[in-house]
A and B are shown apart, each in its own frame.
Chain A
Amino acid sequence: MPDIFISDIEREEKPKESQPQPDIIEKSKDHSHNPLSAFMFRPKNIDFEARDKDEKIVLVLRRHPITNLGWALIALLMILVPSILSQLKVLGLLPFNFRFIAVFVWYLITSAYILQNFMNWFFNVQIITDERIVDIDFTNLIYKEVSDANIDKVQDVTYKMGGVVRTIFNFGDVLIQTAGEVPNFEFEAVPKPNQVAKILQDLRLEEAQEAVEGRIR
């Protein structure tokens, strides 16, 4: 028998259960687990001091490896200096024992120069997790600065690429303005700045979605 009257209550559609958004970021393909990479997407075996238990690392960035070229060339020159000086008979002016110590100490200083610059590149990283942005800076041997801001505090993301080298090797600066205590984050000379900006944008959307659905941690 056809229904003559259907109650409004019954007709009301059941509200759709909030489906967890398919992870937008999962679609990206640039997975890299090489610890020497400058663009590590969803890396494994990487952690940082202040990470929360449920926090997932989305992206780890360093300066593009090509930015190491300057100090690498200087280091190469430093390695060659003793040979050049001995060719020019300059070292011959010193007694043997002093000459030996001078060359030994020179290579010690060269190794310190290489190690210092390498560590400066290796440990100065920017980490983007699903919850926040963390910037780890070691400016010299005795200075460490770690700043972070929640993703929902990000107000504006700008990236800039300019110059021949940066265009060829696809790297640039990403400037992130936040409403937090640290007003700006600048990721200098990071690879694929357009992808970094896109990932940040996706994370912001995801965070906004979570806020609407009340899934905020």
Chain B
Amino acid sequence: MNAAIPIIGISAWVIVKIFILIGLLLYSVFAFVMVKQTKLMAETFIIRYSSYVRLLVYLHMAFSVFAFILALIIL
């Protein structure tokens, strides 16, 4: 990691990290939109199992936030 070519005085990996963090932040927003959309879908068409789908979407959002925090810590 230290062997990375320095660009304007900082390591290239730092720039990569910033891009990854921005990407993950946007991804978390997307995951949140997905949660809202699933709620709307489940209210429009009421069917068994939709609660499981909603649970999966919530888990997906939780993991996307977790990925952002993880990237912030370990990168």
Question: Which residue on chain B has the smallest CB distance to residue A140?
Answer: B37
**In the bound complex, do residue A108 and residue B1 qualify as a contact, i.e. CB atoms below 8 Å apart?**
no
A97-B74, A122-B53 known; A141 vs B41 contact (CB < 8 Å): no
Choose the segment among A43-51, A75-83, A184-192 that binds chain B (4+ C-beta atoms closer than 8 Å): A43-51
Q: List 29 A-B contacts (CB under 8 A).
A: A36-B49, A46-B46, A46-B48, A47-B47, A48-B44, A49-B45, A95-B13, A98-B16, A100-B74, A101-B70, A101-B71, A104-B67, A105-B23, A108-B27, A108-B60, A111-B63, A112-B60, A115-B34, A115-B57, A115-B60, A119-B38, A119-B41, A122-B50, A122-B53, A136-B45, A138-B37, A141-B34, A144-B40, A146-B44
**Interface majority SS (helix, strand, loop, mixed), chain B:** helix
**In the bound complex, do residue B46 and residue A47 qualify as a contact, i.e. CB atoms below 8 Å apart?**
yes
Q: Is A35 an interface position by the 8 A CB rule?
A: yes
Residue-by-residue, is B27-67 near A (CB-CB < 8 Å gives 1, otherwise 0)?
10011011001101111111111100100110010011001
Given A141-B37, A144-B41, 13 new contacts (CB under 8 A): A35-B49, A48-B45, A95-B13, A98-B75, A108-B27, A112-B31, A119-B37, A119-B41, A123-B42, A123-B50, A138-B41, A141-B30, A146-B44
Which A71-125 residues sit within 8 Å CB-CB of chain B? 95, 97-98, 100-101, 104-105, 108-109, 111-112, 115-116, 118-119, 122-123, 125
Hey, which chain A residues are within 8 Å of B16, CB to CB?
98
Q: A123 to B47, alpha carbons, bound, how many Å?
A: 9
Closest 10 CB pairs of A and B: A47-B46, A123-B41, A35-B48, A97-B74, A35-B49, A95-B1, A49-B44, A141-B37, A35-B47, A101-B71
Count of B interface residues, CB-CB < 8 Å: 35
Q: Is A142 an interface position by the 8 A CB rule?
A: yes
Hey, which chain B residues are within 8 Å of A104, CB to CB?
67, 70
> What is the CB-to-nearest-CB distance from B25 to chain A, in angstroms, rounded to a whole number?
12
Binding site for A on B (CB under 8 A): 1, 13, 16, 20, 23-24, 27, 30-31, 33-34, 37-38, 40-50, 53, 56-57, 60, 63-64, 67, 70-71, 74-75
Count of A interface residues, CB-CB < 8 Å: 31
Hey, which chain A residues are within 8 Å of B40, CB to CB?
144
**In this complex, which of A47, A49, A100, A112 has the most chain B Cβ atoms within 10 angstroms of its Cβ?**
A112
**In the bound complex, do residue A142 and residue B37 qualify as a contact, i.e. CB atoms below 8 Å apart?**
yes
Q: A118 to B27, alpha carbons, bound, how many Å?
A: 19
**In the bound complex, do residue B56 and residue A115 qualify as a contact, i.e. CB atoms below 8 Å apart?**
yes
